[in-house]
């Protein structure tokens, strides 16, 4: 869709042009239980240069509605079973993106108009449709749609950035805080095992001191990559602090977590040699898991247990895994 809708795109003159311009043209979904009324609206819209999908009734509309591509819905207010008012609510529930809806109604009563707007319609037009009226209303509505969509995209981008650690590309502390609560409650509810693995790079301060912070950063980035590659999709990695990382492993016992930790440790030690002049970088791991913990399972218990295990790994010489 073109930004900020400076009116409909140029009317295509041949099929190949139509295909190439399709991305640019606003996509309008026409919903009408009366096929001839729908065809009429469709032909006006095509003439105005819009891309049009027609749905004959509510079930068809729910199928055809695509929040990522539909820019605007033109809907007949009076349809059997599910009318325009109800359908608008259904479509709104189905979409996180705000897609404007214009009602077409043969009813001229002022109460109906108020009902339409109260039900979520953004505008309405009476049948038979006046071409100019339709054109100007759509221009205004699509301009708002373009602005809204740009804002929605931006906000998704910000949301993603606020949750990602930029150096390692994995989730940050905020993501860990959310995921640990959700996974513990899932584990408790279904009586399923879960493990928490806490990784801490060994003697990392020395790497920075001797080889510079850029070398340290490269190693941290590599560790994030190793986690992304070595874990199952259901495992949840995050950067907890400076050179400390967490992995929440659902459906995982202490024994299985040890295997996972060993895999990460070995891969990281091997690949770190290529990334930094500091030589093979080792990492210590503390594991807490529901199958070896007693008492009420809480976030605090699990984190403290993983931390204590990590401390033991450090005390016993580093470059090892403890439970």
Residues that bind ligand GH3 (CB under 6 A): 167, 200-205, 208, 213, 216-217, 220, 242-243, 314, 318
- Which C-beta is closer to ligand GH3: that of 205 or that of 228? 205
| Residue 317 β-bridge partners | none
CB of 171 to Mg ion, least distance (A): 18
- Concatenated DSSP letters of 130-193: PHHHHHHHHHHHHHHHHHHHHHHHHHHHHHHHHHB-TTTSSB-HHHHHHHHHHHHHHHHHHT--
Query: Using CB distances below 5 to 8 A depending on partner kind, what does residue 76 bind out of Mg ion, ligand GH3, none?
Result: Mg ion
Tokens of 298: 């809480």
Q: Which of 5, 30, 71, 76 binds Mg ion (CB under 5 A)?
A: 76
Active site amino acids = 243
When computed from its CA atoms, the radius of gyration of the chain, rounded to whole angstroms, is 29
From the list 52-60, 69-77, 120-128, 185-193, the region that binds Mg ion by CB under 5 A is 69-77
CB of 236 to ligand GH3, least distance (A): 21
Name which of 307, 295, 299, 193 is nearest 245 in CA terms: 307
Residue 199 binding Mg ion, by CB under 5 A: no
Interface map 114-153 toward Mg ion (x if CB under 5 A): ----------------------------------------
In angstroms, rounded to a whole number, what is the distance separating the alpha carbons of residues 19 and 266?
52
CB of 219 to ligand GH3, least distance (A): 8
In angstroms, rounded to a whole number, what is the distance separating the alpha carbons of residues 257 and 310?
14
Phi, psi of 291 (to 5 degrees): -80, -10
Query: Using CB distances below 5 to 8 A depending on partner kind, what does residue 48 bind out of ligand GH3, Mg ion, none?
Result: none
- Which C-beta is closer to ligand GH3: that of 52 or that of 226? 226
Residues 6+ apart with CB under 8 A from 165: 171, 172, 224, 238, 239
Q: Under the rule (CB under 5 A), what is the footprint of Mg ion?
A: 33, 76, 78-79, 200-201, 204, 243-244
């Amino acid at each position: 869709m073109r930004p900020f809708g400076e009116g409909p795109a140029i009317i295509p003159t041949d099929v190949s042009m139509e295909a190439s311009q399709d991305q640019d043209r606003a996509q309008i979904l026409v919903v009408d239980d009366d096929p001839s009324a729908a065809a009429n609206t469709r032909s006006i819209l095509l003439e105005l240069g819009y891309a049009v999908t027609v749905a004959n009734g509510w079930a068809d509309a729910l199928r055809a509605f695509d929040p990522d591509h539909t820019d605007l819905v033109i809907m007949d207010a009076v349809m059997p079973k599910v009318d325009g008012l109800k359908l608008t609510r259904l479509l709104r529930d189905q979409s996180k993106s705000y897609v404007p809806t214009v009602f077409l109604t043969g009813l001229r009563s002022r109460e109906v108009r108020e009902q339409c707007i109260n039900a979520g319609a953004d505008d309405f037009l009476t049948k038979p449709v006046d071409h100019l009226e339709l054109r100007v209303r759509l221009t205004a509505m699509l301009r708002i749609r373009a602005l809204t969509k740009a804002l929605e995209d931006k906000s998704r981008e910000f949301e993603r950035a606020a949750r990602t650690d930029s150096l390692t590309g994995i989730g940050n502390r905020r993501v860990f805080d959310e995921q640990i609560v959700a996974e513990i409650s899932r584990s408790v509810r279904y009586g399923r095992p879960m493990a928490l693995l806490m990784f801490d790079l060994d003697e990392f301060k020395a790497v920075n001191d001797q080889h510079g912070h850029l070398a340290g950063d490269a190693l941290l980035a590599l560790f994030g990559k190793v986690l992304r590659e070595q874990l199952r999709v259901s495992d949840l990695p995050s950067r907890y602090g400076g050179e400390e990382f967490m992995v929440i492993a659902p459906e995982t016992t202490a024994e299985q977590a040890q295997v996972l930790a060993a895999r990460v440790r070995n891969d990281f030690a091997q690949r770190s040699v290529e990334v930094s002049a500091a030589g093979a970088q080792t990492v210590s791991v503390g594991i807490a898991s529901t199958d070896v913990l007693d008492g009420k399972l809480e976030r605090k218990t699990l984190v403290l247990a993983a931390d204590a295990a990590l401390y033991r790994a450090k005390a016993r010489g580093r470059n090892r895994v403890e439970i």
